[in-house]
Amino acid sequence: MKNIHKQAFAMPLTNPSYPKGPYRFIDREFLTITYRTDMDALRRVVPEPLEIPEAIVKYEFIRMPDSTGFGDYTESGQVIPVTFNGVAGGYVHSMYLNDEAPIAGGREIWGFPKKLADPALRVEKDTLIGTLNIGSVRVATGTMGYKHRTLDPDKILKSLQAPSYLLKIIPHVDCSPRICELVRYYMTDITVKGAWEGPAGLELHSHALAPVAELPVVEVLSAFHILTDLTLGLGDVVHDYLDRAS
């Protein structure tokens, strides 16, 4: 086979696990529960040069029923509010989902910390319920009163437009890091179709391979439920950990 570099996009060469982006999401649904945690625990997991303004974590359950190239899947994980060069954003610390294509694409393109699991987001009578199971083990349960109060969509739009950060790590064939970068990305073309808040609860349980409880829940601060259309933009590298001059 000639000119492999012209054909190569993703693994496997002749049948990639996902198509090229950008990726559009229709009716993407979030349950996001914001909680206070331990600052020392955050310092152990947030890479420099990101800075931590306060001991806060956002735990997310996300339903994605219609996404370009990735199909229908659900995701759950933790985002830590940070600043980079004085600009507020979010560091994506953990992500667990139930679809191979976005796991492969997310890890290879941006460096999303995606792992295979069984998350869910559903309405049960008057309660919005998010769960995360690893096999038969329950790792996280989030609950919120269903659509108790409507939120200002402009405030939600502004929060979704903030930058997010990822630590992208790709190993060399000898298991040393071939790529080790801080990646920034944005969500674009956002339409907020609905936004609500309500009383919320969050339980995190210890698991060896899904250590979400290592950022413990000290106090639940707030929760929101939103329905959106948006595009996941491609990223840019803002810090290269393998560049000695950086």
- Terminal Cα distance for the chain, rounded: 38
CA-derived radius of gyration, the chain = 18
| Contact in structure between 78 and 113 (CB atoms under 8 Å) | no
Q: Mind telling me the catalytic residues?
A: 114
Angstrom distances, CA of residue 20 to CA of 9, 10, 26, 66, 102: 8, 9, 18, 16, 12
Distance CA 199, CA 61 (A): 16
**Nearest by Cα to 195 from 151, 239, 154:** 151
